[in-house]
Structure 1
Amino acid sequence: MSLSFPRRGALLPALLLALPLLASLLPMGRAMAMGYQQPGPAVREALDAPALPRLLVAPDRQTLALLELRRFNSLEELARPTLRLAGLRFDAVSATPQPLATVQRLRLRSLLQPEAPERVVELPGSGFHSFSWAPDGQRFVLERRGPASNELWVGDTASGQIRQIPFLRLNNALGQGEQAWLNPRELVVLGIPKRRGAPPRALPSPAVQESLGKASPERTYADLLKSPQDEAAFEYHARSQLTLVDLATGQIRELGEPALFSAVSSVGDQGQVLLTERLVRPFSYHLTWDDFPQVVELRQRDGRLLRELAKLPMKSGVAIDGALPGPRVFYASPTKDAAVYWVEALDGGNPNARVAFRDRVMRLDPPYSGEAMEVQRMPHRFTRLRFLDDGQHALLTETDRNRAWTRSYLLPLRGSQSKPLFEHSVRERYRHPGQPLMRTLPNGHQVVQTTAQGEIFMIGAGASPRGERPFVDRLSIRDLGVQRLFQSGEASYELPLMPLDERRWLMQRESPSEAPNLVLRELGPAAGGAPQLLTRIKDPSPQLRRIKRELVSFKRADGVELSFWLYLPPDYREGERRPALIWAYPLEFNDASVAGQLSGAPSRFAAYPGISPQLLALEGFVVLNEATMPVVGEQRSMNDGFIEQITMNARAIIDKAEELGVVDPKRLAIGGHSYGAFMAANLLAHTKLFKAGIARSGAYNRTLTPFGFQSERRSLWDARDTYLKLSPFLYAERIKEPLLLIHGEADSNSGTFPMQSERLFQALAGLGGTVRYVNLPHEGHGYTARESVGHVQWEMAQWLKTHLGDPRSTEPRP
């Protein structure tokens, strides 16, 4: 089935429809042959420093795993043969996601005896990835992409020794690491069928699509199926075999017949029933795999079918923010009731229908032969269900998308009425109640942890006008009373992680000069003394601490609060006005008071990702990063004032930076990534505030995303003027300032196909503009190869030096 436009689309001017073709015919700028370039020594040193290790606490809270992942991929890794089918990208040989984050080093450390020596896990060979703990913490599992398959390895926590599970080839093409623990020693994984045969031959044949009069307003996606050969290849590579693995003995057993399994989970606390989801034909050429028809089933432990729960149709023709009619979003109970829960729409899935209740939660009890029971009705669209470990309650969340408002309830699973817990804006930061503390059950399920007194812990960021100060609250299930147990101070940033016993909590502490480390702190009235340091991770890039960082708050013309993080070069001297880069990403709000709320904290350890614009401070530039760029308005018509609001934001940011006396207002550049690139191009097209721009992986012609983008829910034909106004491609003749365009050639993000940057470059070059287009081989929406990251930093630095001048010169360019 294909996409066909409504008839009124024919009313679009012929010129508009021809613009992409016309742009492709315009004369291009001079092509340049050049290799990968490296940034200056200071930035290069920062890029080559090791990444901070990931700290993963075992479910029994006795052992800590320190994972050192490879910070950047290599071009060889990105260039591996990759299949791109149904919105998926996976390695053609091993059926692993592509690219892959691999483990370089793995260490284990006791939390109860922090002075005990570490256990270094010897990793034979390379390609290890996807570390996870067994539910009891006594074992751990790793996957390894070998030369011919993806392998499963099991490790012993006490000794640190690992061994391969023989005769097992994992299939992560569709499941992406899907696994279901039955108990601490047994899990079900998706394997490659032993008798799947040779892959289908790629024989050419016509690819036919049609639409039979039913509207199907899908957004634009990459890597879709395009032919019967693609369908056959997808079915061949995505087909998997449910496989039971005994980690203690290394034995494996196939369960049932192979199918296109996309999800598997255990039901209840005994590991005797499995909940599975599998894809079935027909496939689609304009939807990704997760919108294909699915069958949801209950199976016995040996794989035999117990009951078919639902057949979900193709998710085609569903309105944006709508839902499928009938059952959807299935949950397996993690506790002894062994029930299965799902959600059903009461509005036919139509978000525009006026109904008292939009969704309901259903429950089916063992032996799964009767009818399901209604548990709860919701006036708004279902968002999430999280079970408590008491087996009696769950946390239910719904979202009113028209108001961008969310509500959470304490839901008794049997009999009683739910109790409202929290409600707030989706974008709320200052009054956000936090997230419930989770723990792992022996069957591997994550559940909300409760105390013997019937309380749950809520851990939050603690955002405020002075920055974030994380907290932990204790919430009573009985009377909903809240008691604050801890809140971080302002000098350092302490994030509560979990209690080790009734008094001691594990925290992650950091400061502007200290890398994140784990500490043990006593909480409660009798708590005293300094926290106990459990890890001693050092700053891998101490030279970056010389960059001066400050959080700056101010207001725009209409009173909305704004902010940015100011980064000053290490050699900056008081009173200098240097050229600067403003880097931003627009966010939509329907409440002006929420739009101005701050995120981040001055007390945090500053991390600098490889393509971070902050690293340009090492080249001498002032950088205003994370400059807030709110767009405030009614949810449905938010973008009608997009240009006016980002202009208002930009003026306020520039005025504040000039007031601080650190930037030269005549030497400013605007930049952003993805939606930030879209913003930057629009500011260049509609204002004269900047001398140059940098736009990475953006979208610039909204007629190429006709069925919505970002928060826009209207189609091009519903909001023609807005789509055209927000397309800087259509205003290319107004972009007189130099613009650097960067894009990954394999960008699969919805709406930001590389063609967007190609066409804008061709338009600007054809119109005589100053523009440079950098197309990064093998890269996606973000850039992960060391060569690419270094080149991007070099391109940005050279562009700013060329068009803003020497950053260490206080004289403006003529």
Structure 2
Amino acid sequence: MHTACKLCGRLSAAVTKMKCIGSNGMYSSSGPRLVTSLSFRPHSSRVLQPQTAGHKQKRVFPCVRSDALAMGRRQVLLVMASTASQQQLAGLATAAGNGTAAGDPQNAAAAAAAAQPAAGYKQPPKEILDIVDAPPQPGLTFSPDRTKILQLSRPPSLPPIFDISRPELKLAGVRIDAEQWSPSRMGYYMGLSMVPSDVLVPAAPEAMMKISGYPEGAWLNYVTWSPDGSFIAFTTRSPGGPGDPPRGPLQLWLADTATGKARPLLGPRRLNTVFHSYTWIDDNTLVAATVPAGCGEAPRRPPVPAGPRIQDNSSGKKSQNRTWTDLLRDDHDAELFEYYGTSELVLLDVRQQGSEGEVIAPPRMYTEVVSSPDSQFLLSCWLSRPFSTAVPAGRFPVTLQLWDRRGAPIRQIAALPLAEDIPIAFNSCRTGPRGLSWRDDKPAELCWIEAQDGGDPDVAASPRDIVYTLDAAAAAAAAADGGQQLAPSVLATTDLRCGGVSWCDGDLALLYESWWKTRRSVVHTLAPDRREEDKAVLFDRSFEDVYSDPGSPLTRRTSAGTYILAKVDGRRQLLMSGTGASPEGNRPFLDLFDLDSKEARRLWQSSPPYLESVGAIMSDFNHDAPVTLDGLQLLLSRESAKEPTQTYLISFKGPDAASSNEQRITDFPHPYPQLKDMQKEVLRYKRSDGVDLTGTLYLPPGYDAARDGPLPTILWAYPREYKSKEAAGQMRRSPHQFSGIGSLSPTLWLARGYAVLDGPSMPVVAEGDEEPNDTYVEQLTASAEAAVKELVSRGVTDPARVSVGGHSYGAFMAANLLAHCPELFAAGIARSGAYNRTLTPFGFQSEERTLWQAPDTYSKMSPFMMADKIKKPLLLIHGEEDNNTGTFPLQSERFFNALKGHGGPARVVLLPHEGHGYRARESVLHTLYEQDQWLERHAGYGRTDPSYVTSSGEADSASSLSE
């Protein structure tokens, strides 16, 4: 389903969207619950993330949290394996080791304890297990001067169940580890080491300088370079296992990059990283969010309630919200949220050994502190009461203030009230200033956007948005001169929803606006220092049309550590990098684009049999020198269908970049050599209504159709909505992309002799004023029919052994296909889905209408309403702590009961402590076991486990396919 920010609850509008077993508070569980019915910001870091087993890359989209809580993080350029565009090489910004729970594997110490499955948990066959257990490759970041590479070592396995079973607080859409004063379920790194940038990675031990001095075995997070690269800051925490130090708040450490020696910072102070961790202000100074001194014990829930829980809307105010999870329930939740969200800001000169720093602001619920490019001002943001039981934290009242670098207030930028009534439609937004950030090309100039339509896209308004700027130094001078407030100035206006500004200099900036209903995207050029001049349209296109995508401009680093548009030779020419989508597949490119003539000259393009992408500029270490084609250096990723992604440094020569040479940076081994010779083909076929469809077919190594005959086949998909048949039918993949296998990927079953059609197109098209979901079922079944027909016609698929599966919205799809075209499939697998749309009455996925506006559509789309018609076996799997909008575990439980009540063959597996995605080793392996057994029993080879438990409550020794 579309990703929803857990702080603000905003859905992306993008198309592309117990019992205690020890005194240390660790918890365990006997295994998954099942029921059956069988008759279911660092400065200038370059981060390289290799594709490895268990780490399938996903695209991430911005949300309102970046508007309200995360202003202007300095850009970090990411190099991802198995990617096909500059956006994925450089635009998916993330901090190395930033403590997020994005699937990082965990805990080497616990790996041994987790080697044997916990009671009640099962493991898949060895051929699948070996791939899941493939060792991960390290993360890599370049130093700001490009002379060093930092290797971040990952743990060797998935985290054990005891680690994700730790108690956590679920407050206002935020999950908190109370012992650590941090987000819960964070990933981590196991070690840090540096190598010269001309040494091939992974480097031999003798070529590496290991970062040392911190506690042995500590888990590391929030790893950043100082702006000049002299230091590396990071945090440590205890694993909390047997024999480890007690768990507690994270400790901040600093390593000298000349010696590799690390030392602790802040004395006895510890960090509060629930919302914010620390920010570099300059080469030697940072601001850290710490646990407030004298905060006392956490509030305890009164043993006797003070009264009933009451929600009131006597005023009759309209407030529609999607089904957010983990909301505050009562006053005690609010007290806990305020207690753990409150931090104290400490200013620290890292050169002063032993210093505890200086408190520069009173305790508040700080969500972000961002330094101006010249390091003289701070932009601070914090939450405050009144809280709400109806919306997540990102919609709570927000205060935004401009401070000097020592925390003295200069002026208030905004005090945004509680926002419970943001419309559910896409392009809705909060009223008041949003998207606050520092202008990257100026010493200290703020920029923000304000909606003129009340944040409601259904309100006609021109302009719809206004972009403002404010010079911090001038504002400070005005405030000092009698306390005056300097008014912001208007930079530009837009008639669509403004998406922000990319800065270059006083003569050039790019302004972005877009509109969801029409899929229109417009890019303007403007001169920020000559505001009397009108903006000019540079691109005006449909963002669904990938064939016409001109690419995205590359940026260069400034001496202040910010990133600005990279003008070539100081002229009005930009370097544009894009996916190069075409009917033949993606062929990423690099163009020299003239802003005046709007003509592009191709400098470089990926060539078969490889998929290559250029990303971050690496020749910008001389910040005063212009970017030139002669000597231009870029990071380049290269992969093929059989070779994993490697990273290179490509250097162009000549004034026209007519030639180039390369330096190899990485030499990672194939993560799963047993599948190196798997067969891969991108299929092209048509739907009955003429829409072009694609899918990636995988066949086992050594398979020969004439010799081996048709195979059992898994179809794994995810539906998407489009505004035109032409856009829906465009090719969005490459036959030369390396096939990364995630820990829950359907391609794992290649090792079991299955064919897999991964990601077949399931477009739902609505042209003009039509709504896509009004014909969702018809279009979905037509796409499935076309896919199965194509597979059978090739002779690789046994039509009697086709299974369908998906996760989240893909699970919703799988259940619908079993309901509406059961003749196509022998069985289905549905993970973490929602099946009754009346339980998501204020919209879901790309549906903007409410249940009361489109009752027939909601009912027709709900496979729950077709439970009496589903007679093919359906496996339902769900995390018991699913925190995704709309996909409560109740959806799977009630759907199973409905199927069972009508005699439908089904099984539901509920995974303890798991969220929308599954992370614990035991959970992942048991999920694979369940899927394997389901496939083998109903649509495979009949290789069933004699101990497999069915509805009788006894082991099932059946080995045949028939029921």
* TM-score normalised by the chain length of structure 1: 0.92
Equivalent AA in structure 2 for residue 675 of structure 1: Y
- Counterpart residue number, 1:431: 548
Between 343-352 and 740-749, report the one with greater CA deviation: 343-352
- Counterpart residue number, 1:23: none
Equivalent AA in structure 2 for residue 272 of structure 1: Q
Deviation of 1:255 (Å): 1.2
Distance in 1 (CA, whole Å) between partners of 2:497 and 2:345 is: 33
- Does the CA contact (< 8 Å) of 1:59 and 1:439 recur in 2? no
Distance in 2 (CA, whole Å) between partners of 1:49 and 1:690 is: 32
Distance in 2 (CA, whole Å) between partners of 1:245 and 1:709 is: 46
Equivalent AA in structure 2 for residue 118 of structure 1: M
Deviation of 1:209 (Å): 1.2
- Counterpart residue number, 1:462: 580
- Does the CA contact (< 8 Å) of 2:941 and 2:961 recur in 1? no
Between 444-453 and 187-196, report the one with greater CA deviation: 444-453
- Does the CA contact (< 8 Å) of 2:435 and 2:500 recur in 1? no
Distance 1:326 1:431, change over 3 A: same
- Does the CA contact (< 8 Å) of 1:312 and 1:328 recur in 2? no
Q: 1:723 aligns with which of 854, 858, 874?
A: 858
Distance in 1 (CA, whole Å) between partners of 2:793 and 2:378 is: 63
Distance in 2 (CA, whole Å) between partners of 1:710 and 1:83 is: 27
SS of alignment partner, residue 719 of structure 2: strand
- Counterpart residue number, 1:327: 433
Distance in 1 (CA, whole Å) between partners of 2:521 and 2:861 is: 29
The reply on whether 1:167 has 2:268 as its aligned counterpart is yes
Distance 1:475 1:769, change over 3 A: same
- Does the CA contact (< 8 Å) of 2:466 and 2:490 recur in 1? yes
Distance 1:216 1:679, change over 3 A: same
Q: 2:136 aligns with which of 34, 37, 51?
A: 51
Q: How does 1:333-732 map to 2 (within 5 A)?
A: 333-366=439-472, 367-368=474-475, 369-388=485-504, 390=505, 392-414=507-529, 415=531, 416-454=533-571, 455-477=573-595, 479-501=597-619, 502-524=631-653, 525=656, 528=659, 531-575=662-706, 576-634=709-767, 637-688=771-822, 689-732=824-867
Distance in 1 (CA, whole Å) between partners of 2:508 and 2:827 is: 56
Between 57-66 and 94-103, report the one with greater CA deviation: 57-66
Distance 1:200 1:139, change over 3 A: same
Deviation of 1:466 (Å): 2.3
SS of alignment partner, residue 149 of structure 1: coil
Distance 1:135 1:591, change over 3 A: farther
Distance in 1 (CA, whole Å) between partners of 2:729 and 2:230 is: 46
Deviation of 1:426 (Å): 2.8
Deviation of 1:661 (Å): 0.9
Distance in 1 (CA, whole Å) between partners of 2:469 and 2:290 is: 30
Equivalent AA in structure 2 for residue 102 of structure 1: Y
Distance 1:185 1:437, change over 3 A: farther
Deviation of 1:532 (Å): 2.5
Distance in 2 (CA, whole Å) between partners of 1:452 and 1:275 is: 33
> Could you tell me the percent identity over the aligned residues?
38
Distance in 1 (CA, whole Å) between partners of 2:559 and 2:37 is: 62
Distance in 2 (CA, whole Å) between partners of 1:491 and 1:55 is: 26
Deviation of 1:736 (Å): 0.6
- Counterpart residue number, 1:198: 297
Deviation of 1:770 (Å): 0.6
Distance in 1 (CA, whole Å) between partners of 2:579 and 2:146 is: 22
Equivalent AA in structure 2 for residue 690 of structure 1: F
RMSD between superposed Cα atoms in Å: 2.4
Equivalent AA in structure 2 for residue 456 of structure 1: L
The reply on whether 1:188 has 2:280 as its aligned counterpart is no
Distance in 2 (CA, whole Å) between partners of 1:140 and 1:642 is: 51
Deviation of 1:543 (Å): 1.1
Distance 1:357 1:715, change over 3 A: same
CA deviations over 1:694-726 (Å, ceiling 9, x no partner): 000000011111000010001001111111111
- Counterpart residue number, 1:79: 165
Between 694-703 and 542-551, report the one with greater CA deviation: 542-551
Distance 1:232 1:434, change over 3 A: same
Deviation of 1:793 (Å): 1.3
Deviation of 1:337 (Å): 4.7
Equivalent AA in structure 2 for residue 668 of structure 1: V
Deviation of 1:106 (Å): 2.9
Structure 1: any 5+ residue segments left out of the alignment? 1-26
Distance in 1 (CA, whole Å) between partners of 2:553 and 2:294 is: 45
Between 371-380 and 160-169, report the one with greater CA deviation: 160-169
The reply on whether 1:42 has 2:160 as its aligned counterpart is no
Distance in 1 (CA, whole Å) between partners of 2:719 and 2:453 is: 32
Distance in 1 (CA, whole Å) between partners of 2:297 and 2:772 is: 52
Distance in 2 (CA, whole Å) between partners of 1:508 and 1:291 is: 39
Q: 1:129 aligns with which of 213, 221, 228?
A: 221
Between 422-431 and 624-633, report the one with greater CA deviation: 422-431
CA deviations over 1:744-778 (Å, ceiling 9, x no partner): 11110000011111110111112111101111111
The reply on whether 1:782 has 2:917 as its aligned counterpart is yes
Equivalent AA in structure 2 for residue 676 of structure 1: G
Distance in 1 (CA, whole Å) between partners of 2:438 and 2:924 is: 42
Q: 1:145 aligns with which of 237, 259, 266?
A: 237
- Does the CA contact (< 8 Å) of 1:74 and 1:786 recur in 2? yes
- Does the CA contact (< 8 Å) of 2:806 and 2:814 recur in 1? yes
Between 737-746 and 72-81, report the one with greater CA deviation: 72-81
- Counterpart residue number, 2:312: 210
Between 607-616 and 330-339, report the one with greater CA deviation: 330-339
Distance 1:512 1:324, change over 3 A: closer
- Counterpart residue number, 1:108: 194
Distance 1:526 1:347, change over 3 A: closer
Distance in 2 (CA, whole Å) between partners of 1:773 and 1:553 is: 35
Distance 1:589 1:210, change over 3 A: same
Distance in 2 (CA, whole Å) between partners of 1:28 and 1:516 is: 42
Distance in 1 (CA, whole Å) between partners of 2:455 and 2:616 is: 39
CA deviations over 1:247-303 (Å, ceiling 9, x no partner): 333542211111111122122x32111111111111000100001011111111111
* TM-score normalised by the chain length of structure 2: 0.78
Distance in 1 (CA, whole Å) between partners of 2:736 and 2:661 is: 18
Deviation of 1:605 (Å): 2.1
Deviation of 1:66 (Å): 2.7
Q: 1:278 aligns with which of 382, 405, 420?
A: 382
Deviation of 1:393 (Å): 3.5
Between 767-776 and 420-429, report the one with greater CA deviation: 420-429
Deviation of 1:479 (Å): 4.8
Distance in 2 (CA, whole Å) between partners of 1:58 and 1:395 is: 28
- Counterpart residue number, 1:801: 936
CA deviations over 1:192-219 (Å, ceiling 9, x no partner): 1112222112113332211131111100
- Does the CA contact (< 8 Å) of 1:664 and 1:812 recur in 2? no
Between 350-359 and 746-755, report the one with greater CA deviation: 350-359
- Does the CA contact (< 8 Å) of 1:239 and 1:258 recur in 2? yes
The reply on whether 1:315 has 2:419 as its aligned counterpart is yes
Distance in 1 (CA, whole Å) between partners of 2:593 and 2:162 is: 51
Deviation of 1:102 (Å): 1.1
Q: 1:259 aligns with which of 327, 339, 364?
A: 364
Structure 2: any 5+ residue segments left out of the alignment? 1-34, 41-117, 239-246, 476-484, 620-630, 945-959
Distance in 2 (CA, whole Å) between partners of 1:482 and 1:154 is: 45
Distance in 1 (CA, whole Å) between partners of 2:808 and 2:922 is: 21
Deviation of 1:623 (Å): 0.8
The reply on whether 1:118 has 2:217 as its aligned counterpart is no
Equivalent AA in structure 1 for residue 701 of structure 2: P
Distance in 1 (CA, whole Å) between partners of 2:566 and 2:259 is: 29
- Does the CA contact (< 8 Å) of 1:136 and 1:442 recur in 2? no
